[in-house]
Structure 1
Amino acid sequence: MVKKIFILSALIGFLGLSAQKTHTVAPKETPYGISKQYGITIDELYQLNPSKKEGGLKIGDVITVSKSGSQPKTSTPKATPVSAVTNNGKTGFITLQPKQTIYGITKQYKISEADLRKLNPDLDSHTKIGDKIILPLENIEKYAGSTPTAVVQTTTTTTTTEKPAEVKTVTKTETASPDKGLYVVQAKDNYYKISRQFNLTQKQLFALNPGLESAGLKPGEAIRVSGSDSVASSSNSIKVEDNSQSTTTSAPVTKTVSSQNTASNVTYTATSTFTEDDFVTYTVQSGDTMFSIMNRFNVTLDQLISLNPNLSDGLKAGMTLKIKKQDPMYSKKSGDVLSVVLMLPFGFDANDAKYRTLSMDFLTGAKLAAERNAKTGQKLDIKVVDAGNETTFKNSLSQINPDNTDLIVGPFFKSSVLEVLKFVNDKKIPVVAPFANSEDLFDYSNLIIIETENSVYSDRIVKEVSQVYKDQKIYIVADNSKANANAIKAGLEKSLSKANVIIVNSSNEIQLENNMMTGQSVPVIAVLADDDETAGSAFASKVIALGKQTEGVKAFSMFYNPSFEKNVDDLSKASLVYLMDRKINYDGDFEKEILADYKAKYCKSPSKYAVIGFDVMNDMLTRENKKGEIFKQIGKSQTQLATKFEFVKAKPNGAYINNGYRVVRLMQ
């Protein structure tokens, strides 16, 4: 009987021991962290492991964490009231590191201590290294820097749902091997953007993803950006967990993606064409400007933007920028390398985005032209400079080295062009003004003016009207300044001594008169001298109406208007003649090639200012020789994508001005 009792007692003791849950201590684990993990207090942990209260924990120790054999708590955590500290409801946590303090965390992650304690109710002086501190996700993403693993979770509260929680693992790899990785397509991605991000050609991208070209990009779809099956990993990662709080608790379901019949966690791998040795990082400080950063690190605006695309949204304190490393010593380039400075009014330093989109578009066209010429063997060194606005422009001049510059394209504004001309006066560096055109600029022999002078257009209109004049009354629709209208009137009165020329403010003022003998309406000549789009549309409507009342109405316009192409048949009855500084011949082989190259590079058709950027840069580069002697070929007539260039001297020993334009005739 005694033997049976002993056996029964031993069995009960064994069952009691087997019911206990144990945990093996891992590196960096603390009593506080372990107790949190298993839902017990530190006192309860020490009661289960009395020897550890005095001796402490060691890596590899097996400790008891539960008498009942319960698993670590996996029930859905209570929703933390984060609305006061985070806008999107997403939080994450950082792992407390040695020497980190509550004060240090509030400073680094830009959060008040009160808000920090709202997210971490148990935060107190007993917090230990390795503990997890909850923070708003956006603060972690902005300010974590090199802080180790940060886990992100959504803490939105919803009603009962049967849908299990979803877990997505996202790994950002800063220096992944270029022959590894998958990438998940984002909403605004395109072929060009992805190819450039992963240093691929579009052909290589399509080869890695058969069927992608015909199927197109779909947000959320994982595509291959290298030839390896393996996915690059990183020690610094952000794990994203979308946890729906509900009354029904479900086990988390991990989203997977299948690639070549191998399922794996979806991994976003961001690679760069630069290695860690190619660039350094810099955190933007309060008071920093684009200009000061470029000066400090001796980089160009183009280099800065190419490494930091988010700069298109503006410069903000706290941003981490990648800065391309420069050679320690600057040396002037020699030989046959053409050094070009492109000055565009991005307005980053001036916080003026008025011309930023225009500048970005101009830059895309200019870069396409530069790449095209480089393929033919031309050696180029192109530096992009933020010209700011007219108020801050002088600051940008320090970015130009007059001793090592062969051509300056830009700036846009007349006052800025004058400043550049004065700055390079001794060197006589050729300066190209894409838009500025004024008599103030005509005295500079090293200036090339792209915009055709309005007097050239008005002279041509006088010539065209004179050829069809048969005693008709001539109406000229003027803009507010009336400068163009007055020039045309003066020219017509000189050419046609008895002409009856009337300047009006609106197309509605153009009237037909009746012949007193026949009672029929007498045709008139209508001239548009206003480049306003609304005025042009009204002019077209009036000419069409006049043409329906009588035959023989003639119409002329100094400027192009979109309504002209929309009403070709009706305006042809008035034999409309209009002038254009730019027009693309979509049937030309050269034009087709350029448009195709632009679309392949940027996944869209070029805007007006992208076309101008290409035309200006391509025309200038094709006139250059290895010595930078652009003026030797300045007299050659050239037609680019949309613009005709015919340069003449504005005055003896003065600037060159473009007199090229197109005459469009609508014939019945």
Structure 2
Amino acid sequence: MKKILALLLFVGATSIYAQQKTHTVQAKETVYGISKQYGISQSELYKANPKIEQNGIHPGDLLVIPGKVDTITEEIMKDASKVSDTFTDDNFIYVTIQPKETLYNLSKKYKVSEESISSLNPQIKERGLEIGDIIKLPKSPTTKNTFSVPKGSHLILKGETMYTLSRQYKVSVDDLYAENPSLQSGVKEGMVISIPQKSGAVVIEDNTINYVVQKDDTAYGILQKYNTNLDELLRLNPDVINGLKAGMTLKLPLQKNAKIIKYGTAGKLKRANDNEINVAIMLPFDVANNPQLKNSQSMQFFTGAKLALTRLAKTGKNINVKVIDTKNGNLQDILSTNDFTKTDAVIGPLTTSDVTEVANFFSNSGIAVISPYANEDSLNSFTDLLISNPKDEVVADQIIEEIGKNFAGEQVYLLTNREDQELANYTKKQLEKQVKANVVIVDNVSKIVQPHDKVNGQDYYTPIITVLVGDDDALGKQYLDKLKTFNKDNIKAYGIKSVAVYDVYNPDNAKNIDAFREFGFVYSTARLINTRDEEVKSVLKDFSDIYCGFPTRYEQLGYDVTYDIVDRMNSKGDVTNNITTENTRLSSKFSYKKISGSKAYTNDASRIVRLPKK
């Protein structure tokens, strides 16, 4: 009955051979072996079954076995005479597999990657190369190590994923999987895939491809396109026995050991309001592939976070923590394949682009996403996002305001380096606007000048204002040394952000602090460790006992952000109930609020430190 059905389904493709014999392909059979079995040439078999020239044969395929050559039409004879071991069309080279031919040899001979060959010929993975098979390859190289990608196809490049391909071509991930069986084993650089012409005809569910039959579909075409056979089609779709009709949905099998990644939809996840605190930490570690990164910013941040969680646990907080290495795969893959249904807060990642993807994924979920470092304006549009790192402009504004209170028309020098040039530009613009100051940005202390005259033996100094913009410790030391050369009664000195040389809580820094006091120095900073505070002393002792040292800036950040967020959570893991409370941690101060036009919460807390003259 199956053979009768197959003949009806394929009659359009094989009508010229309607009176010929048929053969159902068995496992491990080859074109060469079948041609010998029936005493015909491979060329005759190919001409009677045009589709196998491009797609090869598979178990369950129904082949037409032609009769004597004199029964074939003159047109077929003419076409058959053109068949050779290698031939081409507009897009591909077709190669007949010879004895001892291997995938490696073909790759070297035609300058095409093994991934490209396998992706264009999915049957290779199932049964390997066999003598007499015809496989297709991309056309000959147009330049060294480059081949012509067929129209309607795409060459997979390093770093590309199902998600990026789906977005690039505006088709569903399911369509890409169905159109290219080789992708079901994973995306690999060098693959050549076909881009679906129409999106939405395929949905992958319950380990099957659900395909809506289109108007011009034939069963033969469907079997070839989805790399399956007639027996499997009938097993999954018994109703096909009554005929193939446009609009009906067929179930088609995925490839063996298929690994399908189903991407989550932003905004559909909701926080579980249970009696647990569940935190995910997402950072780019990648230590397995890059051991030298063990002291990276991510590892330092995580060191601080671990200590924060340990101390929180001692206070009675019961915390479940999931640590996710964002370097282990594409971020969208990670978001889609991890279970976040019980997550209350996500700490990380670090970069603006990664935070954007994470914040978009958890949009309107009630799950807080904490950006510990990135604080660009582009992040302000996301709900449930907490931007922990105060903007540099917030720190600068405090000193701009301070200068404005005491400004008397002095020349203003902003000392900075290349990394903080943008912040210096902001400060200059605001000072020129708010106090009409004459502002000069310099990159070397030698360029700061305090003019003076000597009249009748009396020195007259021109008052100036100096501001160190940035956190370059070496430049901070040079700044202090330069200040000491000026007349202290005619200079106002400030700092935006902190450097080691004016750390007021470092006992080894006493002489430097005394020198700054001579100028009535004032500086603003987002982070400052008060080593005289008892709680801070306890934290620093833990750092010293466990990690044998004083916490680095990123260890401080990891501790502060993690401790602050989890400490705000109630027993159900809700952080938003206590988001606006102002807290001071190891080195950072947190005061979250929504600035004008922003959906995200931003920490705008900064500290100002005054060193009044004695």
TM-score when normalising by structure 2 = 0.51
Structure 2 match to 1:514: 452
C-alpha separation between the residues in 2 aligned to 1:399 and 1:348? 21
Structure 2 match to 1:542: 482
Do structure 1's residue 610 and structure 2's residue 555 form an aligned pair?
yes
* 1:438 Cα deviation after fit: 0.3
C-alpha separation between the residues in 2 aligned to 1:607 and 1:644? 17
Structure 1 match to 2:312: 373
C-alpha separation between the residues in 1 aligned to 2:347 and 2:492? 41
Question: Which of 455, 464, 470 is 2:408 aligned to?
Answer: 470
CA contact (8 A) 1:388 1:396 kept: no
Do structure 1's residue 634 and structure 2's residue 584 form an aligned pair?
no
- Sort the Cα spacing of 1:358 and 1:489 in 2 relative to 1 into closer, same or farther, 3 A: closer
Q: Deviations over 1:577-616 (max 9, x none)?
A: 1122212211112112222333344444433322221111
Q: Answer 1 or 2: which has greater helix percent.
A: 2
What secondary structure is seen at the aligned counterpart in 2 of 1:652? Answer: coil
C-alpha separation between the residues in 1 aligned to 2:531 and 2:333? 41
What secondary structure is seen at the aligned counterpart in 2 of 1:555? Answer: strand
* 1:431 Cα deviation after fit: 0.5
* 1:646 Cα deviation after fit: 1.0
Report how many aligned residue pairs link the two structures.
334
- Sort the Cα spacing of 1:455 and 1:559 in 2 relative to 1 into closer, same or farther, 3 A: same
What secondary structure is seen at the aligned counterpart in 2 of 1:405? Answer: coil
Structure 2 match to 1:427: 365
- Sort the Cα spacing of 1:564 and 1:601 in 2 relative to 1 into closer, same or farther, 3 A: closer
C-alpha separation between the residues in 2 aligned to 1:399 and 1:589? 44
- Sort the Cα spacing of 1:336 and 1:353 in 2 relative to 1 into closer, same or farther, 3 A: farther
Q: Deviations over 1:63-90 (max 9, x none)?
A: xxxxxxxxxxxxxxxxxxxxxxxxxxxx
C-alpha separation between the residues in 1 aligned to 2:530 and 2:370? 25
* 1:525 Cα deviation after fit: 0.6
Question: Which of 589, 599, 607 is 1:662 aligned to?
Answer: 607
- Sort the Cα spacing of 1:521 and 1:436 in 2 relative to 1 into closer, same or farther, 3 A: same
Q: Deviations over 1:10-63 (max 9, x none)?
A: xxxxxxxxxxxxxxxxxxxxxxxxxxxxxxxxxxxxxxxxxxxxxxxxxxxxxx
CA contact (8 A) 1:408 1:431 kept: yes
C-alpha separation between the residues in 2 aligned to 1:466 and 1:333? 50
Opposite residue 590 of structure 1, the aligned amino acid is E
C-alpha separation between the residues in 1 aligned to 2:559 and 2:516? 32
* 1:395 Cα deviation after fit: 4.4
Structure 2 match to 1:342: 281
Do structure 1's residue 580 and structure 2's residue 525 form an aligned pair?
yes
Opposite residue 531 of structure 1, the aligned amino acid is D
* 1:349 Cα deviation after fit: 5.5
C-alpha separation between the residues in 2 aligned to 1:382 and 1:482? 39
- Sort the Cα spacing of 1:428 and 1:563 in 2 relative to 1 into closer, same or farther, 3 A: same
CA RMSD of aligned residues (A): 2.7
Unaligned runs of 5+ in 1: 1-286, 288-331
CA contact (8 A) 1:552 1:574 kept: no
C-alpha separation between the residues in 1 aligned to 2:295 and 2:334? 16
Identical pairs, percent: 32
What secondary structure is seen at the aligned counterpart in 2 of 1:436? Answer: coil
What secondary structure is seen at the aligned counterpart in 1 of 2:341? Answer: helix
What secondary structure is seen at the aligned counterpart in 2 of 1:404? Answer: coil
Q: Deviations over 1:609-658 (max 9, x none)?
A: 22221111110011111233212211100011111111121333511111
- Sort the Cα spacing of 1:403 and 1:524 in 2 relative to 1 into closer, same or farther, 3 A: same
Opposite residue 448 of structure 2, the aligned amino acid is I
Structure 2 match to 1:527: 467
Structure 2 match to 1:501: 439
CA contact (8 A) 2:396 2:524 kept: no
CA contact (8 A) 2:468 2:476 kept: yes
Question: Which of 377, 387, 390 is 1:439 aligned to?
Answer: 377
Q: Deviations over 1:151-193 (max 9, x none)?
A: xxxxxxxxxxxxxxxxxxxxxxxxxxxxxxxxxxxxxxxxxxx
CA contact (8 A) 2:283 2:325 kept: yes
Unaligned runs of 5+ in 2: 1-185, 187-270, 504-508
What secondary structure is seen at the aligned counterpart in 2 of 1:627? Answer: coil
C-alpha separation between the residues in 2 aligned to 1:662 and 1:397? 36
CA contact (8 A) 1:343 1:386 kept: yes
Q: Deviations over 1:408-445 (max 9, x none)?
A: 00111111111111222252421111111101111112
Opposite residue 608 of structure 1, the aligned amino acid is R
Moved more, 337-346 or 525-534: 525-534
What secondary structure is seen at the aligned counterpart in 1 of 2:486? Answer: helix
C-alpha separation between the residues in 1 aligned to 2:337 and 2:374? 21
Question: Which of 512, 523, 536 is 1:591 aligned to?
Answer: 536
Do structure 1's residue 455 and structure 2's residue 400 form an aligned pair?
no
Do structure 1's residue 621 and structure 2's residue 560 form an aligned pair?
no
What secondary structure is seen at the aligned counterpart in 2 of 1:528? Answer: strand
Opposite residue 554 of structure 1, the aligned amino acid is K
C-alpha separation between the residues in 1 aligned to 2:470 and 2:314? 42
Do structure 1's residue 411 and structure 2's residue 356 form an aligned pair?
no
Structure 2 match to 1:361: 300
C-alpha separation between the residues in 2 aligned to 1:608 and 1:574? 28
Structure 1 match to 2:13: none
Structure 1 match to 2:163: none
C-alpha separation between the residues in 1 aligned to 2:290 and 2:330? 10
Question: Which of 626, 644, 656 is 2:589 aligned to?
Answer: 644
* 1:474 Cα deviation after fit: 1.3
CA contact (8 A) 2:282 2:349 kept: yes
C-alpha separation between the residues in 2 aligned to 1:539 and 1:486? 19
- Sort the Cα spacing of 1:352 and 1:418 in 2 relative to 1 into closer, same or farther, 3 A: farther
Question: Which of 322, 338, 344 is 1:400 aligned to?
Answer: 338
C-alpha separation between the residues in 1 aligned to 2:571 and 2:439? 53
Opposite residue 583 of structure 2, the aligned amino acid is Q
C-alpha separation between the residues in 1 aligned to 2:378 and 2:326? 20
What secondary structure is seen at the aligned counterpart in 2 of 1:520? Answer: strand
C-alpha separation between the residues in 2 aligned to 1:352 and 1:603? 21
* 1:356 Cα deviation after fit: 4.6
